[in-house]
Structure 1
């Protein structure tokens, strides 16, 4: 019996809607196809000149792909990225993220097409189809840049190595090239740019920060004030000073007109890890929690073993046996060098008392040198 594929609920709904709407769009195009006409579906896709009477298209158009190439990429992206982010953030937060990164880029792209039409009086702008999962795809890349900023991806057998924050700009470059082909429309570039800005703005300033479950403090912090998620970090090294200067001026202007709120001392403290607030699902925080729990478990095990040894020694002395010399107690953070298992123990520590086995525990910290 093949293993069951576990897909979180929001990701599952996303994939089903994408498949149904894309197949429906393909069927309509096939039935209405002629050699001399360009088919548009204003009640399914967002068409600036035709879709105002169908307001749901501002959302439904995101989950419609017009060809098998983009549909395949969309399915892979939503399946892998959706499962990761939904489990890291919870289904509710993931659904909110999808709603924001779909609705706002589509609306901004709609307005951009209207502005271009107003300046050029060319109806091609208002008849351009705004559709596809591009804003979601680049939003996933931005979210990964927040969660794993120090990870490096190696491509082509080591010929190319890129840190995760480099992928959003690389993706925008690929979309720009594909917009020059029949694969993507001219609206796709605007969707990629607006999706990038929308997702970064939401994650940087507005997304709630989850508190540590071991504390009783309520969650009141929002955004991510860490330096690794600054806007300039998405750009190559030589361009960062210029981008940082420009983005700082823009941020100061937005604060002056009260569209943005400057970070507080608690925000910067949370970004440095000085309190119990963490981004839920961040691999570093989860690993630190696992290490803390492992140290407590080892301490409790050591206490039980020494209690059992002391009890057996007391019984032996009462029976007239010679006293036994015990080794020094290990520290609270784990076994000492003398009591650690050697290489030949195959990563396991045997405990004779009670016949139990203490399983293998591995800890591989992230390589942040890249």
Structure 2
């Protein structure tokens, strides 16, 4: 008897819609194909000059791929990433995240293309197709950077090892190159950049945090004030000071415009027992927060394996060695739970993962 695919509801719906809309778009373009013109589906994808009468395209365009190559990548990304994030956050939170990661990048890209047309008077910009799961793909990478920031993904049998927070920037570079080919449109680069900014801003300041299962903290806390999830962490070490110098004034401007809300002292005090690191707390507070975060992730992983693998998953979770007591929290605690969750399914796509805390960075942040 073949194994039954256990796909959470929101992920299942997204995969079905992606397949149906992509096939429908391909069928329409094939039926109307002409050697002298480019066929577009303005009622399904977002085209600045043609789709104003179809406002739903600001959402539907995200789940339309125009070729089999990008469709295959999108399906794998949504299947593996969607299963992980939906089980980690709940279906409701995952659906909200998908809406943010779809609507905001599509809308901002639409405005950029209209602005470029206004400046250059080149009609090509307003006829550019905005479509594809690129904003969702980079948003998933940002979400993984928040959940497992200290994990390292090993590719090509150990030839290349990269920490998870480095993948969003690499992904943008890949999209920039592919946008010069027929595989992706010129709007793809804008979609990837705005997808990074929108998803990071939402997770950093607005999303309800995953509660610490070892504490009775209120669930109304929002955002993630951890130093490991600062925007500069997406960039290489030598560039981080320059990025911080640029993002700080932008953040102050967003606070003045009431788009973002800085973390208050009450939030920092309440977060001392939560699952994220405080920006202004002392080293001991950060270590305790990381310790609680590791415990919460361990319980989460046990529940995920129990739900997906049945008795065999439960036995594997119980066989994991306990964390070593003492030490400095995240800097000495292994996280087999997060490692198992990251490698149980996506291993075939991403390679192996392991957890190696960055001691130098941790010591610097605690000083």
TM-score bracket, shorter-length normalisation: 0.7 to 0.9
Match of 2:321 in 1: 362
Report the alpha carbon displacement of residue 212 of structure 1 after superposing the two structures with TM. 3.5
Q: Deviations over 1:151-207 (max 9, x none)?
A: 001112222110000000000000000011011000000000000000000000000
CA contact (8 A) 2:149 2:164 kept: yes
Q: Deviations over 1:78-117 (max 9, x none)?
A: 0000000000000000000000110010000000110001
In structure 2, the residue corresponding to 1:154 is in which secondary structure? strand
The structure having more radius of gyration, on CA atoms, is: 1
In structure 1, the residue corresponding to 2:35 is in which secondary structure? coil
Which of the numbers 273, 276, 297 marks the counterpart of 1:275?
273
| Structure 1 residues 289 and 43: alpha-carbon distance in aligned structure 2, compared to 1, 3 A threshold | closer
| Structure 1 residues 266 and 158: alpha-carbon distance in aligned structure 2, compared to 1, 3 A threshold | farther
CA contact (8 A) 1:116 1:125 kept: yes
Q: Deviations over 1:136-159 (max 9, x none)?
A: 000000000000000001112222
Report the alpha carbon displacement of residue 34 of structure 1 after superposing the two structures with TM. 1.2
Q: Pairwise mapping of residues 223-242 of structure 1 onto structure 2 (< 5 A)?
A: 223-242=223-242
Flag structure 2 segments of 5+ consecutive residues without an equivalent: 278-291, 302-317, 324-333, 336-354, 359-367
Match of 1:305 in 2: none
TM-score (norm 1): 0.77
In structure 2, the residue corresponding to 1:51 is in which secondary structure? coil
The RMSD of aligned alpha carbons is 2.1
| Structure 1 residues 211 and 290: alpha-carbon distance in aligned structure 2, compared to 1, 3 A threshold | closer
Match of 1:22 in 2: 22
Flag structure 1 segments of 5+ consecutive residues without an equivalent: 292-358
Q: Equivalents in 1 of 2:116, 2:300: separation in Å?
A: 54
Q: Equivalents in 1 of 2:68, 2:41: separation in Å?
A: 18
Match of 1:328 in 2: none
Match of 2:346 in 1: none
Which is further off, 282-291 or 129-138? Answer: 282-291
Match of 2:79 in 1: 79
- Number of aligned residue pairs: give it: 299
Which of the numbers 275, 280, 295 marks the counterpart of 1:285?
295
Structure number having the greater helix percentage: 2
Match of 1:245 in 2: 245
In structure 2, the residue corresponding to 1:211 is in which secondary structure? coil
Report the alpha carbon displacement of residue 258 of structure 1 after superposing the two structures with TM. 2.3
Q: Equivalents in 2 of 1:162, 1:77: separation in Å?
A: 18
Report the alpha carbon displacement of residue 214 of structure 1 after superposing the two structures with TM. 5.8
| Structure 1 residues 283 and 268: alpha-carbon distance in aligned structure 2, compared to 1, 3 A threshold | closer
| Structure 1 residues 213 and 290: alpha-carbon distance in aligned structure 2, compared to 1, 3 A threshold | closer
Report the alpha carbon displacement of residue 259 of structure 1 after superposing the two structures with TM. 2.2
| Structure 1 residues 170 and 152: alpha-carbon distance in aligned structure 2, compared to 1, 3 A threshold | same
Q: Equivalents in 1 of 2:171, 2:13: separation in Å?
A: 25
TM-score (norm 2): 0.77
Report the alpha carbon displacement of residue 266 of structure 1 after superposing the two structures with TM. 4.1
In structure 1, the residue corresponding to 2:273 is in which secondary structure? coil
| Structure 1 residues 51 and 213: alpha-carbon distance in aligned structure 2, compared to 1, 3 A threshold | same
In structure 2, the residue corresponding to 1:162 is in which secondary structure? strand
CA contact (8 A) 1:270 1:278 kept: no
Match of 1:68 in 2: 68
CA contact (8 A) 2:208 2:220 kept: yes
Q: Pairwise mapping of residues 9-158 of structure 1 onto structure 2 (< 5 A)?
A: 9-158=9-158
Which is further off, 208-217 or 43-52? Answer: 208-217
Q: Pairwise mapping of residues 190-209 of structure 1 onto structure 2 (< 5 A)?
A: 190-209=190-209
Report the alpha carbon displacement of residue 245 of structure 1 after superposing the two structures with TM. 1.2
